[in-house]
Amino acid sequence: MEEDQESLKYLFQQEFSKMVAVISGLYGLQHIEIAEDIVSETFLLAAENWGLKGLPPNPTAWLYVVAKQKTLYYFRRNKIFQNKILPEIAPKTEDPEGSEELNFSEENIKDSQLRMLFAICNPAIASEAQIGLALRILCGFGIDEIAEAFLTNKETVNKRLFRAKEKLRAEKIKMELPPEKEIPARLDNVLHIIYLLFTEGYYSKTQDRILRKDLCLEALRLGVTLAEYEKTNLPKTNALLALMCFHASRFHARQTDTDPMILYEEQDESLWDQDLIRQGIHFLDLSVQGKEISSYHLEARIAYWHCNKQDTPEKWEEILDLYNRLLLINYSPSVALNRIFALYKVRGRGIALAEAEVLRLENNHFYYLLLGELYKEVDEERSRSNLKAAYSLAKTQTERQGIQEKLFLLDEARDKKGK
């Protein structure tokens, strides 16, 4: 029974967004909420039916058949209501000729999701709402999960999603790819959403987990969908794919059954996925064919260097140069902090500490973690106080546990010195 529930949960994560995209693609984005309701009802029926009878031989096919039946029934019933009961005041609903046109083939699913991705990332929709819609419609996130990801409440998320869907209707945004000349500019929004999705999975703030592989794999899948379509297979698309492949290659080394967060320096390099690293190198090679250097290019090159643990001056000098260039293109606190660590590797602890103190990122626990590390060999008390500050700001129990272990090691070293 518990196994069946896990299977249903997995199927929901995998199929919800695909089914909503296909239904919306056929009937139009003005019916996106209807599509969500139909798919949710399909999964509810599956939970009831499979709870009594067990999983069918092909659960995905079962879901598609039921969704087709429910969709056809809804729109046929709605058409009768409009044509016979409210002929003068209700607009006619578009109705395909038959249920066979609701096509859940792999090719149509990919095409529908690609068109949905560009529709959601329309400039008419506010950035935060785009992310919320992407998490909900393209990734099957629940409202609770989206609220956690945004560090807000369910009511706020529901309001944002409602306004975004109203915008889709008011602007009459269609599920279609933009004209070819607009694709490069519109692609920036799409890539940004995928990047944020991968980042949330790679260092998650939801469900008290550091790593959410499901989100990362979903981001990779969407990236590959873009790369498979000629007009969106641009250098910056390949640069983002390279970046995600390099980071994803370390999944198995980043956590174990007993340790939910293993830092880079402590990871077992033999657990890194060499196939994904090779795939990343392939996408990185493709990304240099154009003239544009995006932030994804620079981040992918940094991630490439981190796929080799060899600690050489040349490696850290190039990483520092890449961070310097990245800050000019796309400043962020995390980039500034990572640059400080590279600076420490190249020019030493003193210069790194002087620049770190200037940053004063006082609401960022990574900032205090970095200071704790830099002070460790020169001032144990300052190292300890910074680690305590990091502990108080950490967002997950997993992070707090890791910081507590660092404090324990500091205390252990102090006690040994006392003896």
> pLDDT at position 348, please?
93
pLDDT-based confidence at residue 204 (cuts at 50, 70, 90): low
Question: Distance (Å, rounded) from C-alpha 65 to C-alpha 198?
Answer: 32
- Give the other-Cβ count within 10 Å of 145's Cβ: 20
- For residue 173, tell me if it sits in a domain: no
Query: SS3 of 348, please?
Result: coil
Mean pLDDT, all residues of the chain: 85
Instruction: State residue 338's pLDDT score.
Output: 92
- State residue 143's pLDDT score: 83
Tens of pLDDT, residues 281-290: 999 999 998 8
415 within a domain of the structure (yes/no): yes
Percent pLDDT > 70 in the chain is: 88
Mean pLDDT check: name the lowest of 117-131, 135-149, 303-317: 135-149
Residue 403 confidence (pLDDT): 87
- Please report whether residue 21 resides in a domain: no
Angle between helices 380-393 and 365-375 (to 10 degrees): 160
User: In the predicted model, is pLDDT for residue 85 greater than 50?
Assistant: no
For residue range 50-77, list pLDDT tens digits in order: 988 888 999 999 999 999 999 998 988 8
* The pLDDT of residue 261: 62
User: How many Cβ atoms from other residues are within 10 Å of residue 58's Cβ?
Assistant: 10
Total structural domains in the chain? Answer: 1
User: Within a domain: residue 406?
Assistant: yes
Nearest to 239 by CA among 301, 188, 186, 189: 301
160 in Cβ contact with 132 (< 8 Å):
yes
Sequence-distant (≥ 6) Cβ neighbours of residue 187 within 8 angstroms: 226, 232, 234, 236, 237
Task: Count how many residues are written for the chain.
Answer: 419
Q: Which residue has better confidence, 82 or 252?
A: 252
Query: Is 0.85 topped by the overall pTM?
Result: no
Kindly state the tokens that stand for 381. 């008390």
Residue 86 has pLDDT above 60, yes or no: no
User: Distance between alpha carbon 217 and the CA centroid of its chain, in Å?
Assistant: 8
Residue 148 above 90 pLDDT? no
User: Where in the sequence is the domain holding 373, given as residue range(s)?
Assistant: 362-419
pLDDT range class, residue 47, cuts 50, 70, 90:
very high
| Residue 203 lies inside a defined structural domain of this protein | no
Query: Which helix (H) or strand (E) element contains residue 5?
Result: helix 2-27
End-to-end CA distance of the chain: 57
Q: How far from the centroid of its chain's Cα atoms is residue 257's Cα?
A: 23
